[in-house]
Structures are given as structure tokens and as C-alpha cells.
Amino acid sequence: MAFDPLRDYPLGTRRPDLVSTPAGTPLGAVTLDAVRAGEVGADEMRATPETLRLQAEVALAAGRTQLAESLERAAELAAVPDDLLLAVYTALRPRRATAAELEDWASRLESHAARMTAAFVREAAAAYADRGLLADA
């Protein structure tokens, strides 16, 4: 059956067949007993890019465009290594990075197919330049 963002929300209730863990464990198999038995680990307790994109479709269908955009960014970031995310987060603090360093972080994000977030980093670099918030070179 095709996904209908208006009919199929909430996904976990109406379309659990579309929700799984990063390793592919179906939503119905993610139980407290499975966690206790070691069948589902902490690394499996994450939303997948696919689920986040479906949630973005739901938000868009409901007219919540900003939420949909945030969920699309979350979907692309779900595949980015945690250490890279933390480094970018740190670099985005005022006066922590130069324009060139922020461009390098944006390029790294693009290498992980995180294009929307790379664009955000570039936008932040421009805003920081305008406000004098870049680090000294």
C-alpha cells in the first residue's frame, strides 16, 4: 500500500510496517523485553533517515513547512558520524571558526550527503562575517 501522509499518521500506529531501526529491526520487535535480552541495543534506538523523511512528508501535508524542512535536515544528519556533528556544532559557536574553516566543515557535510546542513553552515558563515563573529584567521 502506498504511503499517504494524511491518512498514515501516526506512523507507529497506522503504518508500523514503514518504521524500523537502523539495522532493519521492525518497530514491532523493539520492545522492553528485546532490549533486556540484548536483541535491541542503544544504537538501534534512533530514527532512520527514511522514517524522518516520511515524517517530513506528514508535516508538509499538514502545512508545517518549517517542521518539514527541519525533519529533512534531521534525515540527512542521521547518517553523519556523531564526531563530525559535534565538531560542526562546536565550530558554529561565535568566534570559534574562520570563514575558511566553516567552508571546510560545509564541504565535509556535503561529502556525507548533508547538503541542506552544509548550506546552513555557509549561511551561518555569511551571517557571522556580517556581525564580526568569525574567529581571527
For domain 80-137, is the CATH number 1.10.1060.10? no
Please report, in tens digits, the pLDDT of each residue of the chain (137 residues total): 899 999 999 999 999 999 999 999 999 999 999 999 999 998 888 899 999 999 999 999 999 999 999 999 999 999 899 999 999 999 999 999 999 999 999 999 999 999 999 999 999 999 999 999 999 98
Domain ranges in the chain with CATH number 1.10.1510.20: 80-137
Burial of 6 (0-12, 13-18, 19+ CB in 10 A): exposed
In our burial notation (b when 16+ CB lie closer than 10 A, e otherwise), range 56-84 reads bbbbbeeeeeeebebbbbbbbbbebeeeb
Is 0.75 surpassed by the pTM of this model? Answer: yes
